[in-house]
Amino acid sequence: MKSLILKDLYNISHNAKSMLFMLLVFVIVIIPMYSVEAYIITSGILCSMMVITTFSFDERSDWTKYAMVTPISRKDLVASKFVVLLIFSAFGVVSGLILGFAGGLITKKVVLDLTSIASLLVITVVGMMIAVIFGSISIPLMFKFGAEKARMLSLISFLLPVAVCFVVYQVLVMFGVSFTDSSVFVLLCSSPMIAAIWNFVMYKISYTIFSRKEVLH
């Protein structure tokens, strides 16, 4: 497992400069137009998408075939992608928080007080959960269809949760459920649990796909 994570981190570090550049560009674009909160969430999602790039690197070098002849199990290989997703998402929201906070101070979108900082920290955690949920849908797709084919399909991984949330929201509204501050707070607090369950399900699906797959590349 450590070997796989190390490999993905080394591989992706080659793209670090361009990713940092994109994050800086987004500071200029998103913070003045929207908010620091939107920037933190965008950073998280953007970095979580790097997991797709790791599949692409693996495919280009026939890594998976090689990994399967080393003492690495199929379970480890699948699990490592979720760990890497967690690392990328954490990196995304933390750098989003730092850059967003700095950008927010410059553009006067945030004030330097305890309430603002606490609010941004909560958004950072929520952003992390959103990034992890969005990113994790792409993993089974990658195992099923391969990086190149799944790249297009991975759009689904970002649209599907939005669509599901929207439908659920509409249904709840239809049944007269109103979202008070306290219910939103409960939802935010339970987001790590939702993300954990969601990722476990995605892991199970990914492993089922990969365990049956013939590894020729």
- Chain contacts with other proteins (rule: CB under 8 A): 2-3, 6-7, 10-11, 14, 57-58, 60-63, 65-66, 68-73, 214-216
CA separation (Å) from 117 to 26, 124, 128?
A: 20, 10, 16
Q: How far is the CB of 147 from other proteins (least distance, A)?
A: 12
Nearer to other proteins, 14 or 204 (CB): 14
- Closer residue to other proteins, CB minimum distance, 11 or 124: 11
> Least distance from C-beta 12 to other proteins, angstroms?
10
Name which of 7 and 109 has its Cβ closer to other proteins: 7
| Residue 109 Cβ vs other proteins, minimum distance, rounded to whole Å | 37
Nearer to other proteins among residue 72 and residue 209 (C-beta): 72
Residue by residue, what is the 3-state secondary structure of 111-179?
Answer: CCCHHHHHHHHHHHHHHHHHHHHHHHHHHHHHHHHCHHHHHHHHHHHHHHHHHHHHHHHHHHHHCCCCC
CB of 178 to other proteins, least distance (A): 51
In a 10 Å sphere around its CB, with 0-12 CB exposed, 13-18 middle and 19+ buried, how is residue 93 labelled? buried
